[in-house]
Structure 1
Amino acid sequence: MTDDSGHHHHNLHDLEQVAEGVGEIENAEHSIIATGAQAAMARETLEDYTLRFAPRSYRKWGPGVVAISALGGIAYLADFAIGANIGIANGTGNALIGIGFFAIVIVLTGYPLAYYAARYNIDLDLITRGSGFGYYGSVLTNVIFASFTFIFFALEGSIMAQGLELGLHIPLWLGYLTSSVLIIPLVIYGMNTLAKLQVWTTPLWLVMMVLPFAYLVISHPSAIGDFFAFSGVDTATGEPLNQGVSFAGSMLAAGVCLSLIAQIAEQIDYLRFMPPRTPENSRKWWVATLTAGPGWVFFGAVKQIVGLFLAVYLIGISIDNAGIANQPVHQFVEIYQDFLPHWLALTLAVILVVISQIKINVTNAYSGSLAWTNSFTRVTKTYPGRLVFLVFNVAIAIVLMEADMFSFLNNLLNFYANCGIAWIVAVASDIAINKYLLGISPKEPEFRRGMLYSINPVGFVSVIVAAGASILVYFHVFGDTIQPYSPLVALVLALVLPPILAVATKGKYYLRRTDDGIDLPMYDDHGNPTDTRLTCCVTGIDFERPDMIASAVPGPNGEKQYISSLALSCDKTGEHVLPEQK
């Protein structure tokens, strides 16, 4: 898998470094930048391509390479814990139906989002702005996404701390701290190292995970029957629960799994770097977009089922294991012990846990810092640099871990799922129904300040109502009977409200302007964002056409000037923002 220049690129972070390299060349060309503020702005712009439209000049990777990078983080072990938790609480039957329901929802909602990211090279926040939320409206969903990253950072960090406790007898509180602080320098400096880590650890990870599991199934065929017969255990008392298969039980299980719905946003952080789609690469392009986009759920569902299988196996060996059967490190120690001496089994299990957790938590810390920075920059119109928010995001995760989040994991994930579902389903509904079926929402995505209204009620109100109502349902406000169905409430409301609101408002809050003041076409003959470059009047740097907009301030000789979307986001006076089109 190489690109045209023969270089292997396996990771988003590689892509950034190329971005920085291009930036340095551009900086040399544009030594016009005089003031310190502008120089800082230029530097941030280049670091910050990660936050905005991904220009064609960086997207030199083939579709396959982008897909492999996007699936690199799928090594995480949270799925094992989630699968085990929902099975222990609800029994295998309900858990399997719940996992199936979760997979269908993820594929159906992930498809339109992944397509938009790969086709138009923008991240999920930018897609959200133009799909019913407005310029400031998507700050709300950015906070939902940032919460996803720190909740899962804490979950993955807890799993790593359990490994350190079991293997090295490091007390949990110290393990929580170590597993978090360790990530910070990696996200700041070690992007290159990490790209290499992702690549060589993936085959090792697969061998360490898949072979022992296959061995277990072959050497203990009775475990399969036990797995299907398992009907839940009360972890406090060790008593069997005898949970029959029921719609309510399946939905409770699905609710926990659906907390992972926002994972599509992390997949999209990679998918934005897909090459332009042409008649020649069309088939490869689609395969990569679908595999790396909604396709991640296939791996997720398999891991959840395996996690539950291992938990049932552990509980089958001894009911005393009920308390630790949901901890991936114990699950793997148990499998390895089947054919290895205890010390080696323990060592391998700890190595597997640490590698897996570092692989995913780098992405969590990174995506979270971007989501916070993005919101903060838009609201305050200042750019603090994402380091501040990297530390902030990790700090919240440490607080969650020290509060022993792992013990009330099901409740936390079920609660979070309601917010995540409301956001992702509302955006998918706007794209599929309002853009394609009803034609009310503009098909081409728009994310630039001045082109969008501050808030579009279509998505904004939908998310507040869907998340709010489903959280009330979850907390038994409407009685106990409907309580297990809170994820369904979020799903249905987020699906039907955007079209209802779009029709009610006649779609008038989507675009504040239809003309961005630039006479060059936005898309090439194949419908891909064009790579024509224009110079930004604030930073003096050239940007590609889709990232630019005309400035409301004319040049020194009255000529038209252009400004980049980032410079415009930081324009405190708002003098460059084009007036509303009447």
Structure 2
Amino acid sequence: MSIGTQNPSSSTHSKADKQGRAEDDYPLRYAPSRYRRWAPVTVAITALGGIAYLADFSIGASIALSYGTWNAILGILLAAAIIFISGFPLAWYAARYNIDLDLISRGAGFGYGGSVLTSLVFASFTCILFALEGSIMAQGLALGVGLPLWAGYLLSTLVVFPFVLYGMKALAKMQVWTTPVWLLLMLGPVSYLLYKQPALMPHFLGFAGLSGHEGVNFSAITLSAGVALALMAQIGEQIDYLRFMPTKTPQNSTSWWVSVIAAGPGWVILGALKQIIGAFLGVFILKTVGEHVATEPVHQFLAAFQAVVPASWAMVLAVVLVVISQIKINVTNAYSGSLAWTSAYTRLTGHFPGRLVFLVINLLIALALMEGNMFTVLQAILSLYADCAIAWIMTVAADIVFNKYVLGLSPKEPEFRRTMLPTINPVGTLSFIVATLASVLAYEGVLGAGLQPYSALVAFVVAIVMTPFLAIVTKGKTYLRRHDDGIEEPRFQPDGTASTTLYRCTCCGHEYERPDMLREKEEGAIICSLCIGVKS
């Protein structure tokens, strides 16, 4: 077998490569151009299908009931602005270089081993959100058809497995076909309710909350934003789809940019709208169902549908909405979670078990959380989790914006291959740890009562300041172990276009495109990024 066999025109894989790589959606590696055959709009719709979760409605209702309508709305908008600004560079970078957020994090300040921390953060996020959505589906089935909660938890877990098993191909078809129905069921009854009962809007806007906050209160706004900011890690799930964006060309430039912005940071626009709708519906049903039930989306939409259709049909439509929403988001949670757990495990053990193993593990963890009835402590979990998620996302975003493109201290091209990276890069790793600890201490009141409501902003500020500061202190010397991967042909052109030349890995025998390959320094053999990681 020749080393570094080049075959730019080849479009075929061996049977083993198709089974072990393509159908597994190229986990833990660069997504090659020959696999990325979807149009930009298809990738965008598929990615946006992942934000169909109903937890937004519960979050909106929870913070509105706690802090009042205007504090909740302003907190939601503040969180949305932060999420959009921080998410844009990550989405653009992922779509341009066709790698997921874990691979981005490796070269954006964390190093090969340091990014294990972020993989665990992201994996836990997918489990938490899966459990929340599964709990909501179980509540809907219990109310609609009398299915016991434990059986609803199990059903909500099993139903997503067939879709996730086949990766992007199956997910794209499912998300595209179900999105119109989901949008109609979500927006239709609320729009009709406002049209028929316009007095509901002044009542909603005048609601002062149950915790005694009078008028607009900055502390209440930041507390509301802190809960909403817990969903900042959602950009990681969007990127798991955006990595399949086709190469940007003069012909598709407009649709490419619109799709990247809409499916990347743009997810938060629809997310904020859902939270405000949830706040409205929570206030709407508060007097009839009580505080705790008012935060449950199934009861919110049951009441909305009852204003449009007879009660029997309202129940059917509410259950259909819950089931469709749960499937749309939880296929994404299960898919992204399987990638994150696999990535962490592979780097910790040097063994690559395949995505299917951790798909099952991810589902079992989520099922255990559902059986533990975690839905009842939603707000507390999300508030604390927000600090960790913000620290991670802002560290990576700051590295891309400041260290790569302003200061020029971090390599602009992505680097995720094992022998090219240090085990731990202190720039991102320390920034993340310090920002997380500072924000958690603020949240727990250790840093004083004055900072306690602003723990989310503490994470934001510390991460965005520490990341460029440490890059300057280290002079950018901690990003790479090697500056030359041993292959003469460049990985990327100056415009970011990747080389499509195929090289055969001397370890696994499969062919991969140039961005995924490097030459071993000692043996001189050309090897793919996954094999060098396992081998090292």
TM range (shorter): over 0.9
Q: 1:528: which partner in 2?
A: 497
Q: 2:373: which partner in 1?
A: 404
SS in 2 for 1:520: coil
Matches within 5 A, 1:134-533: 134-188=111-165, 194-233=171-210, 241-315=212-286, 318-524=287-493, 526-533=495-502
Alignment CA distance shift 1:172-1:233 (3 Å): farther
Indicate yes or no: 2:74 matched with 1:97: yes
Structure-1 separation of matches of 2:11 and 2:356: 21
Q: 2:20: which partner in 1?
A: 44
Structure-2 separation of matches of 1:65 and 1:48: 16
Alignment CA distance shift 1:192-1:49 (3 Å): closer
1:403 shift after superposition: 2.3
SS in 2 for 1:522: coil
SS in 1 for 2:518: strand
1:525 shift after superposition: 6.2
Q: Confirm or deny: 8 A CA contact 2:121 2:388 kept in the other structure.
A: yes
1:248 shift after superposition: 0.8
Q: Confirm or deny: 8 A CA contact 1:233 1:322 kept in the other structure.
A: no
Aligned residues: 527
Structure-1 separation of matches of 2:445 and 2:79: 22
Name the amino acid aligned to 2:45: I
Name the amino acid aligned to 1:568: I
Q: Which of these residues, 38, 41, 44, is aligned with residue 64 of structure 1?
A: 41
1:60 shift after superposition: 2.1
1:195 shift after superposition: 4.0
Structure-1 separation of matches of 2:188 and 2:344: 44
Structure-2 separation of matches of 1:532 and 1:397: 41
Structure-2 separation of matches of 1:168 and 1:23: 54
Name the amino acid aligned to 2:144: G
Q: Confirm or deny: 8 A CA contact 2:11 2:34 kept in the other structure.
A: no
1:144 shift after superposition: 0.4
Q: Confirm or deny: 8 A CA contact 1:45 1:566 kept in the other structure.
A: no
Alignment CA distance shift 1:482-1:23 (3 Å): farther
Alignment CA distance shift 1:190-1:561 (3 Å): closer
Q: 2:5: which partner in 1?
A: none
Name the amino acid aligned to 2:328: K
Name the amino acid aligned to 1:63: P
Structure-2 separation of matches of 1:483 and 1:319: 34
Deviations 1:262-306 (A, max 9, x none): 111111111111122233332322221111110111100011101
1:529 shift after superposition: 1.1
Name the amino acid aligned to 1:565: S
Deviates more, 1:318-327 or 1:155-164: 318-327
Alignment CA distance shift 1:58-1:184 (3 Å): closer
1:59 shift after superposition: 1.7
Deviations 1:54-79 (A, max 9, x none): 11111222222221221122222111
1:202 shift after superposition: 1.3
Q: Confirm or deny: 8 A CA contact 1:277 1:526 kept in the other structure.
A: no
5+ residue gaps, structure 1, are 1-21, 29-38, 235-240, 555-559, 575-582
Deviations 1:225-258 (A, max 9, x none): 0111011136xxxxxx454321110111001100
SS in 2 for 1:543: strand
Q: 1:35: which partner in 2?
A: none
Q: CA RMSD in A?
A: 2.0
Indicate yes or no: 2:13 matched with 1:26: yes
1:199 shift after superposition: 2.4
Report % sequence identity: 56
Q: Confirm or deny: 8 A CA contact 2:25 2:167 kept in the other structure.
A: no
Structure-2 separation of matches of 1:192 and 1:439: 38
Name the amino acid aligned to 2:111: G
Alignment CA distance shift 1:243-1:179 (3 Å): farther
1:184 shift after superposition: 3.0
Indicate yes or no: 2:521 matched with 1:552: yes
Alignment CA distance shift 1:181-1:127 (3 Å): same
1:191 shift after superposition: 7.0
Higher relative contact order (CA 8 A, sep 6+): 2
Alignment CA distance shift 1:23-1:463 (3 Å): farther
Deviates more, 1:50-59 or 1:360-369: 50-59
Deviates more, 1:59-68 or 1:142-151: 59-68
Deviates more, 1:261-270 or 1:225-234: 225-234
Structure-1 separation of matches of 2:414 and 2:468: 17
TM-score normalized by the length of structure 1: 0.87
Q: Confirm or deny: 8 A CA contact 2:421 2:482 kept in the other structure.
A: yes
Indicate yes or no: 2:520 matched with 1:566: no
SS in 1 for 2:108: helix
Deviates more, 1:485-494 or 1:383-392: 383-392
Q: Which of these residues, 42, 52, 62, is aligned with residue 75 of structure 1?
A: 52
1:23 shift after superposition: 12
Structure-2 separation of matches of 1:61 and 1:524: 22
Q: 1:36: which partner in 2?
A: none
Alignment CA distance shift 1:525-1:482 (3 Å): closer
1:505 shift after superposition: 1.1
Deviations 1:97-125 (A, max 9, x none): 11111111111111110111011111101
Alignment CA distance shift 1:532-1:192 (3 Å): closer
5+ residue gaps, structure 2, are 1-8
Name the amino acid aligned to 1:113: L
SS in 2 for 1:203: helix
Alignment CA distance shift 1:366-1:537 (3 Å): same
Name the amino acid aligned to 2:414: P
Q: Confirm or deny: 8 A CA contact 2:45 2:175 kept in the other structure.
A: no
SS in 2 for 1:570: helix
1:319 shift after superposition: 4.9
Alignment CA distance shift 1:477-1:228 (3 Å): same
Deviates more, 1:448-457 or 1:166-175: 166-175
Name the amino acid aligned to 1:462: S
Structure-2 separation of matches of 1:104 and 1:376: 34
Q: 1:121: which partner in 2?
A: 98
1:357 shift after superposition: 0.3
Structure-2 separation of matches of 1:60 and 1:392: 30
Q: 1:3: which partner in 2?
A: none
Indicate yes or no: 2:512 matched with 1:539: no
